[in-house]
Amino acid sequence: MPAYDAIVVGGGPAGSTCAYRLATAGKSVLLLDRARFPRDKACGGAVTARALREMPVGIEQVVETTVSRFELRARHRHGFSRAASSPLAYMTQRHRLDAYLLGRAVEAGVELREGTAATEIRQDGVDDDGARVVIGADGANGVSRRLFDTKRRNAVALEGNLPHSEAPDERYSERLVLEFGTVPGGYGWIFPKADHLNVGVGGWTSEGPNLRDHLARLCEAHGFDRDALTDVRGHLLPFRKRGAALAAGRIALVGDAAGLADPLSGDGMYEAALSARLAAEHALRILAGELDCFTGYTRELAARLAPLMRVSWGAKFAFDRLPMLSFTVARTPQFWKYVAQTYG
Ligand SMILES: Cc1cc2nc3c(=O)[nH]c(=O)nc-3n(C[C@H](O)[C@H](O)[C@H](O)COP(=O)(O)OP(=O)(O)OC[C@H]3O[C@@H](n4cnc5c(N)ncnc54)[C@H](O)[C@@H]3O)c2cc1C
């Protein structure tokens, strides 16, 4: 008999929420993470309203600001803002959010092994530990995706934190600012937190060598001192291509390990929490003897994400190739309605 019902590799939002769901259903769960928590993760820390709805626990303890206004800008020159009638995003910091979610999982009974990098993922366990199902939640740079044909197109992003004292204009403290038409395959952002702004840029991996310059230009365009940014760091953003594997046998990939981030917005916590929920539901059915494998998970997740991905890829290419025309379209009430309905 394997020692565990499930082993979850990786304790980011995908892994911790999946482990939480399995443990609260009475299953024995081991969660491995190569890091020790609290650990940081390069991220704007915007938990969209749709992401929050997919979380198994509330996160109010770690929310620093709630935002319902968004400002869309083009080429550092033109801009407009729109406000939704309900919050669009809950702003947090990942070292706080991830430690909080992991803590809830441990309270629910998950056995946590920190500072432990998984090296071998198998159908019957991970390294020396046996399990009946395995969840690969080890992010964009993990090991579990190497088992699969995970066709993907990567983006890369760089971000830092600007203390509020360095950005006296109060408009930044109550809105999400997005700058399009400046970074090929991506955009720049300014996100409000309790005592700082998170300022970042992301684009295709080919833009990697230029990201420092893009970040400096974004700061300059908004009157920020680039040298005042602290904790500047970068990370990959994996975008799954259609048809790429999400599971094999009794191993399922969730979150960034599966390459699920939204290609337009770059947000991945909604997809992390959604895939975690679906993987947990299918894992419980496997453990109950109703299913043999995660094939149904692949089918269900791919079907749930397909309409979103179609629109996001289309809009991404439009913003990339025809930024000014796309910006004009984005001013229309129809576009705003789509944003509010999709992310809100
Ligand atoms: C710069 C940037 C800004 C972003 N901004 C936003 C945003 O504002 N909102 C949003 O929703 N999304 C954002 N995203 C995307 C979001 O960060 C990811 O989609 C999200 O972190 C995915 O969660 P995850 O749990 O799948 O992976 P991760 O959060 O990456 O967690 C993976 C975990 O696996 C562990 N791990 C890795 N390898 C191993 C191993 N071999 N063994 C054991 N453990 C391992 C890691 O230590 C880590 O703790 C952003 C991404 C970037 C790069």
Region 203-226: mean pLDDT is 96
Region 215-228: mean pLDDT is 96
In SS3 terms, 67-101 reads as ECEEEEEECCCEEEEEECCCCCEEECCHHHHHHHH
Question: Which band of pLDDT confidence, cut at 50, 70 and 90, is reported for residue 28?
Answer: very high
Q: Provide the H-helix boundaries in 261-322.
A: 269-287, 295-321
Contact 156, 235 (CB under 8 A): yes
User: Domain for residue 162, yes or no?
Assistant: no
Contact 133, 288 (CB under 8 A): no
User: Domain for residue 280, yes or no?
Assistant: yes
Tokens of residue 201, six digits: 């840029």
145 pLDDT above the threshold of 90: no
Distance of CA 285 to the CA centre of its chain: 26
Q: What is the CA(57)–ligand 1 centre distance, in A?
A: 19
User: Domain for residue 129, yes or no?
Assistant: yes
- pLDDT at res. 116: 98
User: Domain for residue 204, yes or no?
Assistant: no
Question: What is the residue range of 49's domain?
Answer: 4-68+88-152+241-325
- pLDDT at res. 146: 86
Q: Is 25 helix (H, G, I), strand (E, B) or coil?
A: coil
Contact 13, 268 (CB under 8 A): no
Which domain CATH number covers 250? 3.50.50.60
In angstroms and rounded to an integer, the radius of gyration of the C-alpha atoms of the chain is: 20
Region 190-203: mean pLDDT is 96
Q: Which atom of ligand 1 is nearest to the CA of 138?
A: 34
**124-128, 260-264, 338-342, range with the lowest pLDDT:** 338-342
Contact 331, 80 (CB under 8 A): yes
Give the pLDDT confidence of 36-56 residue by residue, as tens digits: 999 999 999 999 999 999 999
Task: List CB contacts of 186: < 8 A, sequence separation 6 or more.
Answer: 155, 157, 201, 202, 203, 204, 207, 266
Give the pLDDT confidence of 103-137 residue by residue, as tens digits: 999 999 999 999 999 999 999 999 999 999 999 99
Give the pLDDT confidence of 266-316 residue by residue, as tens digits: 999 999 999 999 999 999 999 999 999 999 999 999 999 999 999 999 989
Global pTM reads 0.96
Contact 126, 120 (CB under 8 A): yes
Look at the alpha carbons of 224, 229, 232, 235 in this order and tell me if their dihedral is positive or negative.
Answer: negative
User: Domain for residue 343, yes or no?
Assistant: no
User: Domain for residue 132, yes or no?
Assistant: yes
User: Domain for residue 235, yes or no?
Assistant: no
Residue 260: DSSP 8-state: B
Ligand 1 contact, 272 CB (< 6 A):
yes
Residue listed under structure tokens 């453990």: 287
- pLDDT at res. 339: 83
Q: What is the CA(274)–ligand 1 centre distance, in A?
A: 14
Ligand 1 contact, 192 CB (< 6 A):
no
Domains identified in the chain, total number: 1
Look at the alpha carbons of 261, 262, 268, 274 in this order and tell me if their dihedral is positive or negative.
Answer: negative
Region 138-144: mean pLDDT is 94
Ligand 1 contact, 138 CB (< 6 A):
yes
Instruction: Supply the mean pLDDT for the chain.
Output: 94
Give percent of the chain with pLDDT exceeding 70. 99
- pLDDT at res. 13: 98
Q: Which atom of ligand 1 is nearest to the CA of 137?
A: 26
Tokens of residue 323, six digits: 């930024």
Question: Which band of pLDDT confidence, cut at 50, 70 and 90, is reported for residue 169?
Answer: confident
Question: Which band of pLDDT confidence, cut at 50, 70 and 90, is reported for residue 150?
Answer: low
User: Domain for residue 138, yes or no?
Assistant: yes
- How many Cα atoms sit within 13 Å of 317 on the Cβ side? 5
CA 341 to CA 50: how far, in whole Å? 9
CA 216 to CA 38: how far, in whole Å? 29
Q: Which atom of ligand 1 is nearest to the CA of 48?
A: 11
Ligand 1 contact, 261 CB (< 6 A):
yes
Pocket test for ligand 1, best of 138, 178, 343 (most atoms within 8 A of CB): 138
Amino acid in position 237:
L
Tokens of residue 190, six digits: 């300014």
Q: Among 157, 159, 135, which residue's Cα sits nearest to residue 147? A: 135
